[in-house]
Chains A and B, each alone.
Chain A
């Protein structure tokens, strides 16, 4: 079965600084990867996804992620964060089983942006 590891439970950063949130997944022949964001007391919103093609994926709110097959990683980056980016970020991998797909989530990384 697929698994997703987000090693950092919390990442504090100052406003306008760059940030990287790390995500590693267990190896598979075909892999589809996602990043979701959850603002306080809200549901999850899709930031970006990698299905195929270019390994650099651009998402909403200035975020991007790079798929690295050799390192089985899909790290999320933003060159300059804002206070409003404070939220919890979840990496997820799509697993296929019995002709159906389901998302397996990591434990999440809380991004805390300080002024």
Chain B
């Protein structure tokens, strides 16, 4: 099992450019999440999905869109990148254990917007 993988690992964008981050998991997990990590702020939830074809907003969804067309993939899109979106992005996935998920995290994508 590869677990949770993220593509790309690093990216530099200019303000206004768009890009898509790909998250893939091979554990047949129902839940998938996108977090961003900024110094001193821990991880903040951007969007999440409880199953194929469903998505929901997290704490900081503005400026991002997501799609989950296949159970194993969860895409995070930035339509018009801004310097405030410079961050490390983590994807996670989980199944339900006694009704509560225990997420597994990917290695992260470091994004810089200039």
Q: Is there an interface contact between A100 and B40, defined as CB atoms closer than 8 Å?
A: no
Question: Which one of B41, B43, B107 lies within 8 Å of A42 (CB-CB)?
Answer: B107
A107 — nearest CB in chain B belongs to which residue? Answer: B42
Question: Which one of A4, A45, A51, A98 lies within 8 Å of B56 (CB-CB)?
Answer: A98
Interface string of A21-51 (1 = CB under 8 A from B): 0000000000010101000001111100101
Q: What is the distance, in angstroms, from B11's C-beta to the closest C-beta of chain A? A: 16
Interface string of B75-114 (1 = CB under 8 A from A): 0000000000000001010001111111111111000000
Q: What is the distance, in angstroms, from A45's C-beta to the closest C-beta of chain B? A: 7
Total inter-chain residue pairs, C-beta < 8 Å: 63
A104 within 8 A of B: yes
Q: What is the distance, in angstroms, from A107's C-beta to the closest C-beta of chain B? A: 4
A98 to B104, CA, bound (A): 22
A43 to B89, CA, bound (A): 10
B110 — nearest CB in chain A belongs to which residue? Answer: A41
A68 within 8 A of B: no
Q: Is there an interface contact between B102 and A100, defined as CB atoms closer than 8 Å?
A: no
- Provide the residues of chain A in CB contact with B45, threshold 8 Å: 102-104
Q: How many residues of B contact A (CB 8 A)?
A: 30
A90 within 8 A of B: yes
- Provide the residues of chain B in CB contact with A90, threshold 8 Å: 42-43
Q: Is there an interface contact between B42 and A108, defined as CB atoms closer than 8 Å?
A: yes
Question: Which one of A6, A45, A94, A102 lies within 8 Å of B58 (CB-CB)?
Answer: A102
A109 — nearest CB in chain B belongs to which residue? Answer: B42
Given A90-B43, A100-B48, A102-B45 in contact, is the A52-B101 Cβ separation under 8 Å? no
Q: What is the distance, in angstroms, from B68's C-beta to the closest C-beta of chain A? A: 13
- Report A's interface with B, CB cutoff 8 A: 4, 6, 9, 32, 34, 36, 42-46, 49, 51-52, 90, 94, 98-108
